[in-house]
Structure 1
Amino acid sequence: MLDWDHIFATRSSRMRASEIRELLKLLERPDIISFAGGIPDPALFPDAAFKDAYADIFSSPQVNAALQYSVSEGYKPLREWLVGEMEKIGIPCSVDNVFITSGSQQALDYLGKLFLSPKDTALVTWPTYLGALQAFNAYEPNYDQLTPNGNRTPDAYRDTAAKNGGAVKFAYLSADFANPTGETVDRQGREKVLDLADELDIAVIEDAAYQSLRYDGEPIAPLLAIEIARKGGIENTRTIYSGSFSKTLAPGLRVGFVVANMSVIRKLVLMKQAADLHSSTINQIAIATVAERIFDAQVAKIKAAYTARRDAMLAALAKYMPASASWTKPEGGMFIWVTLPAGLDGAELLARSLETEKVAFVPGQAFFADRSGANTLRLSFSCANEAMIEEGIQRLGRLIRSAEAKAA
């Protein structure tokens, strides 16, 4: 067989299969209770609204435009709708500050390409979203740990990056109900990230994929909103806000967006032109139509369902987990992060779980840039009903107690 390794670019060696995408295959097995996939429940998709939207498109003169090439910036009515939504959360902007992507994952890939040269440093939380690491890895960066409420100095970050042969280019974080931990960065932490970025003269990438899914607690202003309030307008900011319709309307249409100052948007548009010209026109029109008609009602529906599932999982964890385990208590999103007793390995536990207890989850190590965190795991409650959660957590607790006893 042809040996391709010496032909591939060096960056290809840093591309790894997603452990989560592989685990999604388990959703097809009826004997598995899965807390693995961080995906929305398809039973909650507004399928009737999309059916009506596509029917309206195909029955109107707009259909030819919907099936045609379009501008790289994105469908203007959708961008205009997003301007209104941004205003509601303290981010005044114009349509020229909004850019449509093929899902927020494409935005992360573009931003990695835009900022990272080989050996540059990206600041990420420990742990962080696995998809971000996958997107950034192709551009051959180093990683350093971002601690929003920590006391590490800008010089310490700068010196470490220089020793590794590059410069710090951006800080990436999900401030609301992060994937994988479910945790939220408080107002003080957000302010400190912005201070750090100003000191280092770097970008801030704010991954806001879950921001709409708050179930309790008081909302905290996005980093971009805080920075706009500080600096008087979006054109003076360094924060790049990345959002998505995947968690609220439908992930399969692959529609995400970026809100940022126009200097960044112009560069992203050039990347879009070179990569795929534009995101699906008809899908953007359908998203715009459904968002205008039912967005608030749809978000209220999924929040009610996910709140009940989160509460059921937290109650089950308290009931069945050993005292030596701990977990986060998220105010929103789709995830709970479990720290196992010392000495246990999440990957080994998963292998045993699939064989004996038929429960799937994601081992936590995949979310750490340095591959630490072996004794952690991520649980998703979005696609399991309350009965499945009760049974699955009971099985998982039994397995952890058994593994802990064997390790003693």
Structure 2
Amino acid sequence: MDWHQIFAGRNDRMKASEIRELLKLLDQPDIISFAGGIPDPDLFPAEAFQEAFTQALTAENQATALQYSVSEGYAPLRDWIVGEMARLDIPCTRDNIMITSGSQQALDYLGKLLLNAGDTALVGWPTYLGALGAFNAYEPRYDRLDPETNRSAADYAEAAGEGQVKFAYMSVDFANPTGRTLDAQMRERVIDLADELDIAVIEDAAYQSLRFEGEALAPVLAREIARKGSIDACRTIYCGSFSKTLAPGLRVGWVCASKEVIGQLVLLKQAADLHSSTINQMAIATVAQNQFDTHVAKIKEAYRARRDSMLAALEKHMPDSVRWTRPEGGMFIWLDLPAQLNSADLLAQSLKSERVAFVPGHAFFADGTGTNTMRLSFSKMDEALIDEGIERLGRLIAAAL
């Protein structure tokens, strides 16, 4: 049977994630992997989750934990998130929150909600690979979102052609893949641009809690609320996640937005999977209520040390012609190589000779450019392995010049 002739045409736009494929290498013990943006499992609050799941399965709670539930999500968890949003100067109510199966599901739902085939999504150059994967199924075209250029709304609208510009997507804190943070002026500029174009803003806040140094910046949604007075008057959609702070395997994230947006997302949730796992939400709520701040402080201390080790190793081992970012938090450092180098070719060589994995940068560009870039993650390797891996990688790059 020729399945391809039966598959919908949109499937041609869906490609295997290079990162997901590289994760298979983690089972090879001699590989030093800077590939996946993966939390260190040694830092998971496993005992706390064991207690939380035990509590969820008591006679008093098991009927809730194991039963169907509302699509919006577990109420005590949504209430805890409301409190966290208030700490970020985002006043809201439970009705402004919907729980998703990780923030990745939120991106998929938002693509489905906002995009018609041929519409334009404004994204960074580079941007999060998972966002491109989520949006691609809805057949958009992409345009470069670069607030620093002061490109006019009219120019974006003209470039969209017959389609509409629908949203600007960005990770504003310690972005995946670059590790960069959007400054306050540029955050305000994004709101201006969105108002001029009458589009949504999708604020991916997966790494927002992982600041190691520097002054925290108010989220885009907080800034828009300050301008307009209420979350229900705002166009920014905030996507949060517990994957980088507590545990990615439980697949719990959330969307914080106007009630009108949440109402539409709930309909998509009902049609897709009814609701996210209730017992997982209960466990997340219990652990978050008991030790979110102390646990996040613990992982930030560990990741800061690893970032510092990687930055020191890059200074020590990389050729002078290589440039890299210096993130204030998160999990990633971005490398710009000399133009003649191709990071995909380097990866193939590295896996054979140096046994070091990383993510070639072209995967993060909507147009496939950026072939001389790469993403390194420091979150899972200890300091000694970071130095060894960067030394091997520097040797490979020097030999290719």
**Counterpart Cα distance in 2 of 1:213 and 1:200:** 32
Question: Is structure 2 residue 160 aligned with structure 1 residue 199?
Answer: no
The 3-state SS of whatever aligns with 1:117 is coil
Q: Deviations over 1:159-202 (max 9, x none)?
A: 0102xx30100000000000000000000010001000000000
The 3-state SS of whatever aligns with 1:149 is helix
Match of 1:68 in 2: 67
Instruction: Quote the offset at 1:56 in angstroms.
Output: 1.1
**Counterpart Cα distance in 2 of 1:342 and 1:320:** 19
Which of these residues, 326, 333, 344, is aligned with residue 347 of structure 1?
344
Instruction: Quote the offset at 1:5 in angstroms.
Output: 1.3
TM-score, with normalisation over the residues of structure 1? Answer: 0.98
TM-score, with normalisation over the residues of structure 2? Answer: 0.99
Match of 1:129 in 2: 128
Q: Deviations over 1:142-168 (max 9, x none)?
A: 000000222211000000102xx3010
Question: Is structure 2 residue 105 aligned with structure 1 residue 103?
Answer: no
Instruction: Quote the offset at 1:345 in angstroms.
Output: 0.2
Match of 1:19 in 2: 18
The 3-state SS of whatever aligns with 2:5 is coil
**Counterpart Cα distance in 2 of 1:61 and 1:134:** 41
Match of 1:59 in 2: 58
Instruction: Quote the offset at 1:252 in angstroms.
Output: 0.4
C-alpha RMSD of matched pairs (Å): 0.5
Match of 1:275 in 2: 272
The 3-state SS of whatever aligns with 2:374 is strand
Question: Is structure 2 residue 158 aligned with structure 1 residue 150?
Answer: no
**Counterpart Cα distance in 2 of 1:280 and 1:129:** 26
The AA in structure 2 aligned to 1:266 is G
**Counterpart Cα distance in 2 of 1:53 and 1:104:** 22
Aligned residues of 1:177 and 1:183 also touching (Cα < 8 A): yes
Instruction: Quote the offset at 1:4 in angstroms.
Output: 1.1
Instruction: Quote the offset at 1:62 in angstroms.
Output: 1.0
Aligned residues of 2:55 and 2:61 also touching (Cα < 8 A): no
**Counterpart Cα distance in 1 of 2:260 and 2:55:** 36
**Counterpart Cα distance in 2 of 1:374 and 1:184:** 23
The AA in structure 1 aligned to 2:69 is S
Question: Is structure 2 residue 193 aligned with structure 1 residue 181?
Answer: no
Which of these residues, 206, 218, 221, is aligned with residue 218 of structure 2?
221
**What are the within-5 Å matches in structure 2 for residues 280-319 of structure 1?**
280-319=277-316
Match of 2:387 in 1: 390
Match of 1:49 in 2: 48
Question: Which stretches in structure 1 are left out of the alignment for 5+ residues?
Answer: none
**Counterpart Cα distance in 1 of 2:132 and 2:15:** 10
**Counterpart Cα distance in 1 of 2:148 and 2:89:** 23
The 3-state SS of whatever aligns with 2:127 is coil
Instruction: Quote the offset at 1:65 in angstroms.
Output: 1.0
Question: Is structure 2 residue 150 aligned with structure 1 residue 166?
Answer: no
Question: Is structure 2 residue 258 aligned with structure 1 residue 261?
Answer: yes
**Counterpart Cα distance in 2 of 1:150 and 1:226:** 21
Instruction: Quote the offset at 1:6 in angstroms.
Output: 1.4
Aligned residues of 1:122 and 1:142 also touching (Cα < 8 A): yes
Instruction: State the aligned residue count.
Output: 401
Match of 1:82 in 2: 81
Question: Which stretches in structure 2 are left out of the alignment for 5+ residues?
Answer: none
The AA in structure 2 aligned to 1:262 is K
Aligned residues of 1:125 and 1:146 also touching (Cα < 8 A): yes
Q: Deviations over 1:273-326 (max 9, x none)?
A: 000000000000000001001101110010000000000000000011011000
The 3-state SS of whatever aligns with 1:243 is strand
Aligned residues of 1:148 and 1:185 also touching (Cα < 8 A): no
Match of 2:238 in 1: 241
Match of 1:119 in 2: 118
Instruction: Quote the offset at 1:60 in angstroms.
Output: 3.9
Aligned residues of 2:132 and 2:366 also touching (Cα < 8 A): yes
Q: Deviations over 1:39-65 (max 9, x none)?
A: 101110000000000111112411111
Match of 2:363 in 1: 366
Aligned residues of 2:77 and 2:284 also touching (Cα < 8 A): yes
Q: Deviations over 1:96-142 (max 9, x none)?
A: 00000000000000000000000000000000000000000000000
**Counterpart Cα distance in 2 of 1:304 and 1:192:** 32
**Counterpart Cα distance in 2 of 1:30 and 1:235:** 50
Match of 2:140 in 1: 141
**Counterpart Cα distance in 2 of 1:142 and 1:58:** 47
Instruction: Quote the offset at 1:3 in angstroms.
Output: 0.7
**Counterpart Cα distance in 2 of 1:399 and 1:235:** 53
Match of 2:36 in 1: 37
The AA in structure 2 aligned to 1:161 is A
**Counterpart Cα distance in 2 of 1:144 and 1:57:** 46
Aligned residues of 2:129 and 2:363 also touching (Cα < 8 A): yes
**Counterpart Cα distance in 1 of 2:206 and 2:149:** 24
Instruction: Quote the offset at 1:87 in angstroms.
Output: 0.3
Aligned residues of 2:119 and 2:164 also touching (Cα < 8 A): yes
Match of 2:7 in 1: 8
